[in-house]
Structure 1
Amino acid sequence: MDVLIVGAGAMGTWFGRATDASVTFADVDADAAAAAAERIGPDAETTALEGTDSYDVVCLAVPMTHVVDAVADHADRAERAIVDVSGVMGPPLEAMATHAPALERASLHPLFAPERAPGSIAVVRDESGPAIDALLEALDARGNDLLGTTATEHDDAMESVQAATHAAVLSFALAADSVPEGFETPIYEGLRTLTEQLTEGTPRVYADIQQTFAGADTVADAAATVADADAAELESLYREAARQWQPERTDDDAEMQAETNDDTTNETTK
């Protein structure tokens, strides 16, 4: 099976390594395509982005803000199947159904940075068949965990998993200061670690996520609510958060913990 990968960035290169197929790269940057092919091995090739050559499978590994246009531009180069690894699922699958209605179709979202592979991969099989099955079997054989889902379920989840989460961590990074050694709390340390991990990434990718998925506004609204709350309202907000994230914990448990904390504070201040 031969696969055309449109997009020679980190995700396209990952897909080229992860699939047991003959791989050809096409990219707006011909040098990037050549570099990706070299990283895969001597059997990988390159081709012109505007080429007319056809392949068993076309994989769109382009930014999520461009994937719909990429489907329209390259669907006719696929003979058996078309897939994407852009990170959003609803729009590309709709475009595939429009421009490649007779082909096998799937959307894949690796839920990890390529350098941290293998990991969980969200999968929507819009129109499955032997070519899609072979690709997924190759990914599974490399230790990835394939998570079957729907486009709606996935894209709704990404509002929290990506857009809101990234907005919250970035907001902490911009609002908080580095503190002298020894002053760190476990929560501060955890957020600092997340900040370091977030800022290792590519800014354009995070910008695309914010442009594609809602979620940042809810973080801003929540922060404003916290900033404006009085002491009683803050306690209520903490209890609301506990009910959401620790539903097994009762208000009595929280009160007992608060009393324990008060006792500990009193002892240390005597």
Structure 2
Amino acid sequence: MELLVVGAGAMGRWFAESVADECELAFADTDPAAAADAAAEIGGRAVSLDTDDRFDAVCVAVPISVVEHAIAAHADKATRALLDLSGVMAKPLAAMATHAPDVEHWSLHPLFGPANAPGTIAAASNNAGPVTARLRKALEAAGNSLFETTAEEHDTAMETVQAKTHAAILAFALAADDVPDEFHTPISEGLFSLVDQVTSGTPQVYAEIQDTFEGAEAVAAAARELADADPETVERLYRKSRR
């Protein structure tokens, strides 16, 4: 099976490496050198973004802000299946249905960074088939655990799992003062550790998540409610926050 990976960044390379035993690989990227480097590292070949070649499957591994454009631009290169790894599902699946209605559609969200692979992958499809089944088998053979969801369920969950979570951690980082290590509690150490983990990533990724998913305003409103609360209200909110 021939697979074209559009986007030779970290996620595109992770996916290609995970399914390499099942596929003949090709890479395309806005930076041709990145595509060539991925091909040399993982195997396969580099092709131009405007190649006329056709592939059994095309995987779009690009940022959220350009995923719909990339699907529209490369859908006609897929003869059997089209998939994305952008991290949002409703819009990519809708774009696949519009631009490649006759092939299999699959939207994947690896819930981890490539450095932490393998891990859990959310998967949604409005037109599954043998190609996506084969790719699923390869991902599972690489140690990943896939679970089925819908685009709506996934995108709603990301409001909490990503937008609210990142907003809370980054807001704490912006508000926190430096304190000597000996003053830290297990809770504060844990929170600062999360700050270090989040801020070691790529700012563009976090900016796109905040732009895509609602949630940050709810975190800000909750923080304001706590800041304005009297002791009795804090106790009530504390009890409410228990899950």
Counterpart position of 1:26:
28
Shift of residue 126 of structure 1?
1.6
Could you state the TM-score of these two structures normalised by the residue count of structure 2?
0.97
**Distance in 2 of aligned mates of 1:163 and 1:181:** 29
Larger RCO (CA within 8 A; separation ≥ 6):
2
**Distance in 2 of aligned mates of 1:35 and 1:209:** 28
**Distance in 1 of aligned mates of 2:84 and 2:54:** 17
Amino acid in the other structure paired with 1:145: S
Shift of residue 178 of structure 1?
2.2
Give every structure 1 segment of 4 or more consecutive aligned residues whose post-TM-superposition deviation is greater than 3 Å: none
Counterpart position of 1:83:
83
Shift of residue 177 of structure 1?
1.6
Counterpart position of 1:8:
8
CA displacement 1:164-221 (0-9 Å, x = unmatched): 0001000111110221121001110110110010011111111111111111111111
**Distance in 1 of aligned mates of 2:41 and 2:66:** 24
SS of residue paired to 2:200 = coil
Amino acid in the other structure paired with 1:115: A
Unmatched tracts of structure 2, length 5 or more: none
Counterpart position of 1:167:
167
**Distance in 1 of aligned mates of 2:224 and 2:38:** 45
Amino acid in the other structure paired with 2:135: L
Counterpart position of 2:46:
46
Counterpart position of 1:259:
none
Counterpart position of 2:149:
149
Shift of residue 125 of structure 1?
2.3
Map 1:108-187; keep pairs closer than 5 Å.
108-187=108-187
**Distance in 2 of aligned mates of 1:177 and 1:31:** 42
Unmatched tracts of structure 1, length 5 or more: 246-270
**Distance in 1 of aligned mates of 2:75 and 2:62:** 14
Could you state the TM-score of these two structures normalised by the residue count of structure 1?
0.88
Greater C-alpha radius of gyration: 1
CA displacement 1:201-244 (0-9 Å, x = unmatched): 111111111111111111111111111111111111101101xx
**Distance in 2 of aligned mates of 1:218 and 1:209:** 15
Aligned length in residues: 241
SS of residue paired to 2:93 = helix
Amino acid in the other structure paired with 1:161: V
Shift of residue 105 of structure 1?
0.6
**Distance in 2 of aligned mates of 1:9 and 1:95:** 22
Amino acid in the other structure paired with 1:151: A
